[in-house]
A = this chain, B = another copy of it.
C-alpha cells in the first residue's frame, strides 16, 4: 500500500474533548508513518478542504499534540457547513477531489455530529460517484448525545458532568439561602431536541445527597400547573428546589417556551432564554424568590471538569479512526459499545456511516419518570458511568494551560475557490 496523506477536520459545535479525539488521531497517525504520510487539518472544517486552507500538523511538536488531549474547543477551527447533494452542487465535490489530488490525500477523517456524518458519508462515496479513491471515516462528537448506534457520544459525558456538578453545587447554595431569600434556582442547559443534557442534572440527586430537582425535558410538553404544583410541593417539603430546564422546552402551543415575543420599552423585539421565563412563572405563580443561570458555552467548553470516561473515549475514537482506515475501511464510524454498566466496561466498535448520517437518537421514553419531571433508575444507570473520573488539565498561574497550535498553512497549489 502506497503512503497517502490524510485530511482531518472538526465540524459543528465544539466540545471539551473534540481535541482529545484529534490527539488520538494524530498520535496514532504519527505512529503509522509507513501508511499515513502527513495529516493535513482543514482550517474551519470542510471549508478548509474546499478553499485549500490546510494546516500542516507535522509542524506541531509531540508535546503540543499531546496537550490537545486536555484542551477544549476545536484547535483547527470548526464550521457549520453542510455539503449539498452531488446533484445540487457537483462543483464542490469536484473541488474536493482537486484538493485531495493536489495534496495526495487518501484518507478523510471528519470529526462531528449528525450533519457532519452526512458530509463524511458523501465524501466516502466519491470513489463510486466521481472515481476518486478515498477512505472516509467519521469520528463521533456531539454534546447532544444524539448520534445513533454508538452507546454514547464523546463530548456528552463532560457536559453531563459539568451540569451534574453545577446542579449539585447550586443546590447546596440555594439550600443555605432558602430561609430568608432564594428558594428556587433555575439552570438553563443545551438540548434543543433531546433532553440528554437536562437529564444529567438529575444525577445531582442521589443516595448521598437527596436534592429536590425538577427536570424540564424538551420531550415533555410544559404543563405550567403541574410544574407549579411540583415546585410548591418541593419547597414545602425541603425548603427549596432546583430546576434544570432544556432550552428546547415547548408549551402546549408547540412553540419554544423561550419564544415569548419579548419587547423592550420601545417595542423592540428582545431575545431571552427559557430560564428567565421559568423564573417569571415561579414568581407569578408562587411568589417565591428565585435565581436563574444560563450555562450556554460554559457547559461544553468546561474542560477543567471534563469526565475522565469521556476524555478516554474521545481519544479512543480518534485512534480507532486511523486504525480502521489503515485496515482498509471506508464509510464507517468508530462507536462506543457498552459491555456493562456496573462495573462500567466498554469497547470500541464500528458502524456503517449510512446507518448514522441524519439519524437522531432520542431519549428512550423509559428514561423519564412518570410525572415527566425526573429520571428513572434506568436512565441513572445509563448516565452514571459517563461522568465518572476526573481528568484535570495542567495549570499555570492559576489557569488551565491549554495549548494553542501554530497552525502553519500548507502552501496552496490551486486557484482560489469561492464557497
Using CB atoms and an 8 Å cutoff, list the residues of chain A in contact with chain B.
10, 13-14, 16, 44-45, 47, 71-75, 77-81, 161, 164-166, 168-170, 172-181, 185, 187, 203-204, 206, 208-209, 260-265, 268, 270-273, 275-277, 279-280, 283-284, 291-298, 300-305, 307, 384, 387-390, 392, 395-402, 404
Distance (Å) between the CB of A307 and the closest chain B CB? 7
Distance (Å) between the CB of A129 and the closest chain B CB? 25
A180 & B47 in contact (Cβ 8 Å cutoff): yes
A398 and B387 contact, Cβ closer than 8 Å, known pairs A262-B263, A276-B271: yes
B77 & A179 in contact (Cβ 8 Å cutoff): yes
Distance (Å) between the CB of A370 and the closest chain B CB? 25
| Residue in B178, B389, B401 whose CB lies within 8 Å of A398 | B389
Known contacts A72-B169, A165-B400, A208-B396; 19 further A-B pairs (Cβ under 8 A): A14-B173, A16-B169, A72-B172, A72-B173, A73-B169, A168-B402, A169-B297, A169-B302, A169-B303, A169-B304, A172-B402, A208-B401, A262-B262, A262-B263, A262-B270, A275-B294, A291-B296, A292-B296, A307-B398
A177 & B295 in contact (Cβ 8 Å cutoff): no
A165 and B44 contact, Cβ closer than 8 Å, known pairs A179-B77, A185-B297: no
Chain B residues with CB under 8 A of A270: 260, 262, 272, 276-277, 280
B399 & A164 in contact (Cβ 8 Å cutoff): yes
Chain B residues with CB under 8 A of A165: 304, 399-400
B73 & A172 in contact (Cβ 8 Å cutoff): yes
A80 & B176 in contact (Cβ 8 Å cutoff): no
Distance (Å) between the CB of A359 and the closest chain B CB? 23
